[in-house]
Amino acid sequence: MSAKPSIWKDRQVLVTGATGIVGSWLCKRLVAERANVVVLVRDWDPQSEFIRAGTIQDCCVVQGALEDYASLERAISEQEVDTIIHLGAQALVGVALRSPLATFEANIRGTYNLLDAARVHRDLVKRFVVASSDKAYGDSDLLPYTEDMPLNGRHPYDVSKSCTDLLALTYAETYGLPVSIARCGNIYGGGDLHWSRIVPGTIRAVLENRPPVLRSDGSNIRDYIFVDDVVDAYLCLAEKCGSDGVRGEAFNFSPQSRINVLEITQAILRLMDREDLFPIIQANAKAEIQDQYLDSSKAKERLDWSPSCDLEAGLRKTIPWYRSFLESRA
C-alpha cells in the first residue's frame, strides 16, 4: 500500500521568521513534505538552524523586512502563495522594553502589512496562520488562560502581541480572510540562540561549567512546549484555518503543565548530572508577568491536536543539540 500523500505537497507556503527556532524546524518539515517553501529573511544568521542544516538551499528566499510592504506583496504575488505562516517578530521581552518602537514596527506594522497584502491577493491566499503568544493576554488573576479572555497586554512586548491578535481578527471578520491565531507559551528546543531564555541559557552555562543565572526570582510559573509540538500545532491549524469554527478564531497550544523557572532550571541540571551547580538568582527582571499558563482544550476539541512530548522528553532531545552546536564552535 502506498503512503498517504502529504497535504502540503506542491503548496506554495510563505514562512516569515524562518531563521528563528520555530521557523527553522517548520521549514524543514515543509520541505520534507514537498511543499514549495518561500521565506522572508531580513538578516543573514549563519548560526541559525535554518541555514546550518541547509534547509535554506531548498527554499525560495525573499530578502526583506516585515516593515516593507512592497517586499511582502511581491513575495505573495510572484510566488503565488496559497498559505502564509507568520512567525516573524521581535520576540524578546527585554529587547521590547529597551526598544519599544522597533518592536511595535516589526510586530504590529509587520502584521498589518502582511494581512493587507493577503487581502489584496485573496484570490491566492487560502490559509493564514498568525503566531501569537500567551503574553497577548497580559496579567490575569484568573488562570489558566482561555481563548475567550480579554487581550490585556500592558508592557511593550505584550501589547505588540495583543495588537497582532486584534489585527488578525479584524481581517478575518471584516474581509473574510482565512486567518487563525496560535497562542503558545514558552517554546524550547534545539535552535533557540536567544541565550537570555532559561532553557538554552541554562544548558550553555552547564556545558561551560558555570552556574546558570536567573534574571527573575525563580518563582514565575510558565508553560513550556517543545518545538516539534509547536510545528505540529501550526501545520494542523494551517490545514484547517479556512473551515467553520476555525477561521477567525484563536487557539491556545500547551502541554498544560505548570512549572516555575527555578524548577525547570533544576530539571536541566539533573538531566545533565550537574546538580552541584547552584543557580545564581538575580531577581532583577522587568516587565515580566508573574504567572502564565494556558488551557488548550479548544485545540483538542476543534483541531484534534494534543502534544506528544512532555517536558523531560523534550529536554532530553534538546540538550544534545546544544552540546553538538557548542562543540562545533569550540
User: Catalytic annotation on 234?
Assistant: no
Integer Cα distance of 250 and 234 in angstroms: 12
Of 135, 68, 43, 67, the residue nearest 96 (C-alpha): 135
Amino acid at 28: K
Grid coordinates of 238: 494551517
Active site residue: 157, 171, 224, 234, which one? Answer: 157
SS3 for the chain, per residue?
CCCCCCCCCCCEEEEECCCCHHHHHHHHHHHHCCCEEEEEECCCCCCCHHHHCCHHHHCEEEECCCCCHHHHHHHHHHCCCCEEEECCCCCCHHHHHHCHHHHHHHHHHHHHHHHHHHHHCCCCCCEEEEECCHHHHCCCCCCCECCCCCCCCCCHHHHHHHHHHHHHHHHHHHHCCCEEEEEECEEECCCCCCCCCHHHHHHHHHHCCCCCEECCCCCCEECEEEHHHHHHHHHHHHHHCCCCCCCCCEEEECCCCCEEHHHHHHHHHHHCCCCCCCCEECCCCCCCCCECCECCHHHHHHHCCCCCCCHHHHHHHHHHHHHHHHHHHC
Of 70, 52, 54, 50, the residue nearest 62 (C-alpha): 70
For cell 532531545, name the residue. Answer: 317
Q: Known catalytic residues?
A: 157
